[in-house]
Structure 1
Amino acid sequence: MSELRIEDLVVRYGHGAHAHIAVDGVSLTVPDGEIVGLVGESGSGKSTIARATVGLTPIAGGRILLDGEDAPHRGRRPVQMVFQDPQSSLDPRMSIGRSIAEALPRSVPRAQRRTEIERLLDLVHLDPSRRDARPGELSGGQRQRVAIARALAARPDVVVADEITSALDVSVQGAVLNLVRELQRELGLSMLFISHNLAVVRYVASSVAVMRGGRIVEHGPVDRVLESPEHPYTRELLAAVPDPIWSPA
């Protein structure tokens, strides 16, 4: 994996008097092999950062770097994104095996593709024999596992996970979070993990940045930020966190 560095990022929608600055001079680093959390309420700019990082949203200023070099957004995409809703991110007409195969690098020989698809399904704890299943035959948690496998199929340097548990039933959120932690340990995964839920971020991330109004208002080790928050907005977010029903193991 690699280090992702965001420097003075600006994202602007619209022009002139009607322009809206969604991200205003944000700098953030995801160190090699670590999970960094990014939290904030809806409209804070965190998902805009996710989309800009993978090249889905144009930037008005700043840079996005991988190991010190500009991240390419053409050809091989070294930053892969897992979206919030797995139902909309997977083609319902396509088998899950074919969806994963589409993301494999061209360098993987055709004869080895089935083995690689089965390896990826096993990696996310799905039965490889279900490679011919359609997304509609799977549960929400299983579809999100397929989406994670598809992102990993591209052999990315960094993964961006945008609210990947918020569309899931509470009863399965913990299992997906456990999978994220497991992949981080086994693969040395570098990940920007985006959520509005501080309890979720605390479980998976080593550090956290708090966003409000397009800017980062607090950033530091996750335990320090959540146990001794310095910014009033961070304290507001903490006060709004319900006790999780799930209990990750």
Structure 2
Amino acid sequence: MKELRFDDVTVRYGTVRRPFTAVDGVSLVVPAGQVVGLVGESGSGKSTLARAAVGLAPIHSGQILLDGQPVPRRGRVRPLQMVFQDPYSSLDPRMTIGESVAEPIPPGSSRAERREEVARLLALVHLDPSVATALPGRLSGGQRQRVALARALAGQPQVVIADEITSALDVSIQGAVLNLVRELQRELGLSMLFISHNLAVVRYVASHVAVMYEGRIVEQGPVEQVLVDPQHDYTRELLAAVPGNRPTSATPHAPRTRSTS
């Protein structure tokens, strides 16, 4: 796994006369083998930053580096893989689960080897390999999000970007998916940018957190440092919005969250 670095990144939309700055001079590091949480309310720019990292949003200025080198924008093998918020739109409904997971596997393996790899990846995310023959319509939202994680891992990425991956799920399913993220990070040593609007979720999965507000990072540091002694008013507001929040204690179990999106 490698370090992902955003170096003074700005993303703008609109025209020269009427520009809109969605991300404004953001600098952020995701250390190799660690999970960094990026938190902020809807419209803060966090998803735009993620999309810029994988080439889905234009960079106006700054650069995004992987171990000091620009992130490749072309080629079938992509060192950054993204898991999107909506599990119902992230998979092609006409492709079987096995076909979707196999699609990003790097070229060079035989058909049998690809089938074996698909089965391994599905088992890794706690799905029965037999679902490989099913279409996405037969799966629940939680199962589809597990498939999306398996698909991201199939590309053998150096960094995984998870964009609000639990906010569209039922409360009863969110904790299981968060536990899976923690398990995968421990087993695989993943470098991950984990995006959420919920500080309780970020506290559970990340070692470091960055708080984004109106396109800028307003506070960042180790999770317990930021959440126990927040320095910015916006961070305090986010903490106050967490049900039953106790800033001086860590969350011992997967948080039971309620989506606000």
Scaled to the shorter chain, the TM-score interval is: over 0.9
2:157 is paired with a residue whose SS is coil
What are the within-5 Å matches in structure 2 for residues 126-141 of structure 1? 126-141=127-142
How far off its partner does 1:199 sit?
0.1
What are the within-5 Å matches in structure 2 for residues 47-86 of structure 1? 47-75=47-75, 76-86=77-87
TM-score w.r.t. structure 2 length? 0.93
Q: Which residue of 1 aligns with 2:258?
A: none
Equivalent-residue separation in structure 2 for 1:119 and 1:167 (angstroms) = 26
| Stretch moving more, 150-159 or 108-117 | 108-117
Equivalent-residue separation in structure 1 for 2:64 and 2:164 (angstroms) = 21
Q: Which residue of 1 aligns with 2:30?
A: 30
What are the within-5 Å matches in structure 2 for residues 137-156 of structure 1? 137-156=138-157
What are the within-5 Å matches in structure 2 for residues 79-228 of structure 1? 79-228=80-229
2:103 is paired with a residue whose SS is helix
CA offsets 1:99-129 (integer angstroms, 9 cap, x no match)? 0111111122222011000000000000001
How far off its partner does 1:166 sit?
0.2
TM-score w.r.t. structure 1 length? 0.97
Equivalent-residue separation in structure 1 for 2:235 and 2:212 (angstroms) = 9
* Unaligned residue ranges in structure 1 (runs of 5+): none
How far off its partner does 1:17 sit?
2.4
Equivalent-residue separation in structure 1 for 2:217 and 2:42 (angstroms) = 14
1:16 is paired with a residue whose SS is coil
1:29 is paired with a residue whose SS is strand
Equivalent-residue separation in structure 1 for 2:201 and 2:135 (angstroms) = 29
Equivalent-residue separation in structure 2 for 1:124 and 1:108 (angstroms) = 22
Equivalent-residue separation in structure 2 for 1:93 and 1:200 (angstroms) = 33
Large movers: runs of 4+ above 4 Å? none
Identity %: 72
Equivalent-residue separation in structure 1 for 2:189 and 2:5 (angstroms) = 17
| Stretch moving more, 90-99 or 107-116 | 107-116
How far off its partner does 1:243 sit?
4.4
Q: Is structure 2 residue 249 aligned with structure 1 residue 248? A: no
Amino acid at match of 1:57: A
2:156 is paired with a residue whose SS is coil
Equivalent-residue separation in structure 1 for 2:254 and 2:203 (angstroms) = 12
How far off its partner does 1:247 sit?
4.4
CA offsets 1:207-240 (integer angstroms, 9 cap, x no match)? 0000001000000000110111010000000111
Q: Which residue of 2 aligns with 1:234?
A: 235
* Unaligned residue ranges in structure 2 (runs of 5+): 246-251, 256-261
Q: Is structure 2 residue 44 aligned with structure 1 residue 44? A: yes
Q: Which has the larger share of helix?
A: 1
Equivalent-residue separation in structure 2 for 1:7 and 1:155 (angstroms) = 24
Equivalent-residue separation in structure 2 for 1:202 and 1:156 (angstroms) = 24
Amino acid at match of 1:152: L
CA offsets 1:4-36 (integer angstroms, 9 cap, x no match)? 011000000012221000000000000000000
